[in-house]
Chain A
């Protein structure tokens, strides 16, 4: 029952693929576009940009988000910036270089064709955002400013203070609101997708719960777009917003969409360390801080308890600069995270519990002056101080890695279509562009590339190439899906056990962080694979969800999400166990070089692992999409 995984990469030279494909794709006649109804789930960068753009083209769009406004989607929290191969600095950047950096940064586990297209459209994104009024940082001459980011030796990151995600999202949100006002988009806030509906094997609609009234609603369409973000919250503690979840993607997976590389999760090196048991989420300190901050720990474990300023320069280990002299503090995220873990495992961590390293701005303040640092990072420094009660201008920040982004996601082809015809997946929710590790400032780039510049073409091609009979929500498939959702809701409310939803979520998160976090091994993964089903069984027996299905019920919302995480976490561990190599964010301790670096196995694992749901209680089926590297040479990643 193996799936046919056809990535549909256009033939021809890499640089010409997208142009050629755009010409070959079918178009929908302008007068016919309004007859097509497209559902967009999620209103972050990918969802809002797709919904607005499709509406501008003339399609009839419905957009759904669980928040009270599309402006609150979690893209808003991205701090550092967005990459684009503009080469405004004249420092050697090009589409080819952005492509290469992204492929290499992803540890050669992404598709060449997709990544090259991403680098190509990156330049259009900046132009589009400026036209919308996104207030990017500027130089005194009035031109756009750039900063450097991890994994690159050119300065190609555009930014808006430490709030780049916010400003890009507000740009897309405003375009979306413009289209809502015009009548092209119908917006459904506080609506959560709980089921995908297939008719004749094609995605034709969704079932949602109106989170205010509790009503279970059906929505039919000609195509469904998921732009529902990543699954980092499976770890409970992550930098994701509290509401981020895997439910939409996982429900689609259970209806036949393959889930690709779920074990590729990104642990961000610079987050504020955990303060205590009450911790509800982790806060990122932008990677851009590594432009000017120097990472260190004491050379001797006995110095860890000292005030940092009392530790002499000679007694500090600037370990990133020492181990990776050419990239230093700007080493890619996976490498910087693991190095922090090693330092702490070595007993040289600082702060409560010894799980922290210093990020020190003293040299930069001496060199550039306090006001320059304030200008660049003021809001981040304030945030740090509010949370920790420590002044980072006076005392180095304490940071530690935290779950931040998920490279894995629903499998999509070059057209961003999943293994279910008509179901397209955009942004973090898909797997396609970042391989085993995403470079900083590339998530915003991908979300907007997918929404503004890829999906408007490829959805048109799908609609023009398929004969889609009209489907209404009284179709038996809709009735059945609605019934499934209602029953599930009822079941949560009837268990009336003793444990809260959050207590299960925290326990699951701890299992995954310990066994499937920054470093993994077969023994630990097998333990997790034994523990998760037990926890899941307990959840369905003993969870306590109060109230009713009518009206606002936040515990009920959480229960649905955690129930899916409890299944999804197992898939993640299974994928991590099967991938007997180390690459990017997936570090198997059994597979490392003598000096502790990740050891890839290109001979056996240069493929995308696309897992297929096989039914309740049955192990998922592994499908492989081999990765062909025709334009880059597979090399051992080195940042030394």
Chain B
């Protein structure tokens, strides 16, 4: 440990950060030393400290997306030493703490890299493609009204649990960033699986799979070749079993020529 502040040991790290002023400007890596970092800081709190110092020096702070800082909103996300969300498994960047690093470490910080996620500024990317995949069919058409009583539709606990496992996706984009093909298969498949294992999801199941997969391809995400990097990077531990479910439903839907054109979701 390189020093003390207020009685606790602190560390010094060297940041190498991707800086890019806007979507069309060229980007580059800029080095920032970060002394006096407490191991109890979250990774984003460390960036806050670096940014405060930059502002005081008259330099523009590093732009990065973040909001809840408790690992659930999915806003934050960056490549940290080449790994999506950094070295801790099942952990978003906001929940990563500096105790995962050592005094004197070099830390390389870059935005998600994918054609479908253009960089907006520094570490911020545009993930609107994810919303458009959901628009294509990632829902159950149940307009607000007076549906049947919730307990009129029993759902076995294993099915409910499997739905929940997949519904846990936070839409952060780590799966895309980690994939050598920049595929959005895990994201898309998680939603398809969440809804496909529930009885409420059956009427639209085939159309949903077809429309969402087509939309995913249209957005410029790559194809899935089952590297499994997505599963490793997913902070919510979503299994690539979901991709099997997606492929199966997509194949059945394609084979039975489900008519998607008439369906609003494919627009």
Contact = CB atoms under 8 A, between A and B. Distances in A.
A406 to B, nearest CB: 17
A456 B144 CA distance: 10
Interface in A439-489: 452-453, 456
B60 A547 contact: yes
B160 A276 contact: no
A140 B144 contact: no
Nearest to B69: A281
Contacts of A389: 40, 97, 99
Contact of A127 (B147, B160, B267): B147
A397 B131 CA distance: 37
Contacts of A453: 144
Interface string B23-47: 0000000000000001011101110
Given A52-B144, A69-B128, A278-B45, A127 B150 contact: yes
- Interface residue range, chain A: 35 or more
B171 A71 contact: yes
Contact of A552 (B70, B72, B121, B195): B121
A139 interface: yes
A500 B157 contact: no
Contacts of A212: 120
B260 interface: no
Nearest to B23: A212
A161 interface: yes
A71 B131 contact: yes
A375 to B, nearest CB: 10
Interface stretch (A112-120, A169-177, A411-419, A629-637): A169-177
A277 interface: yes
A91 to B, nearest CB: 15
Nearest to A55: B143
A76 interface: yes
A160 B161 CA distance: 9
- Interface hub of B95, B97, B134, B264 (most chain A Cβ within 10 A): B134
B84 to A, nearest CB: 17
Nearest to A212: B120
A584 to B, nearest CB: 26
A132 B139 contact: yes
Contacts of B73: 67, 72, 74, 76-77, 241
Interface stretch (A1-9, A178-186, A219-227, A534-542): A178-186
A126 B147 CA distance: 10
Contact of A69 (B124, B131, B139, B150): B131
A48 to B, nearest CB: 11
Given A128-B147, A181-B265, A278-B38, A242 B69 contact: yes
A383 B70 contact: yes
A132 B127 contact: no
Interface residues of B, number: 84
A241 B164 CA distance: 24
Contact of B140 (A68, A133, A554): A133
Interface in B126-164: 126-128, 130-131, 134-136, 138-151, 153-157, 160, 163-164
B9 interface: no
A108 to B, nearest CB: 31
A482 B31 CA distance: 39
Contacts of B15: none
A452 B144 CA distance: 6
Contact of B91 (A136, A281, A386): A386
A280 B76 CA distance: 15
Given A69-B128, A174-B134, A547-B60, A126 B150 contact: yes
A339 interface: no
A241 B68 contact: yes
A128 B97 contact: no
A278 B140 CA distance: 43
B153 A177 contact: no
B144 A49 contact: yes
A228 B265 CA distance: 28
A189 interface: yes
A135 B194 contact: yes
A242 B67 contact: yes
B180 interface: no
Contact of A130 (B58, B153, B194): B153
A536 to B, nearest CB: 20
Contacts of A76: 68, 72-73
A56 interface: yes
A72 B70 CA distance: 12
Given A135-B198, A137-B160, A182-B267, 4 more contacts: A67-B73, A143-B154, A242-B66, A382-B90
Interface of A: 49, 52-53, 56, 67-72, 74, 76-77, 86, 88, 124, 126-133, 135-144, 160-161, 163, 166-167, 170, 173-175, 177-178, 180-183, 187, 189, 212, 241-243, 275-281, 283-284, 382-383, 386-387, 389, 452-453, 456, 498, 500, 502-503, 544, 546-547, 551-552, 554-555
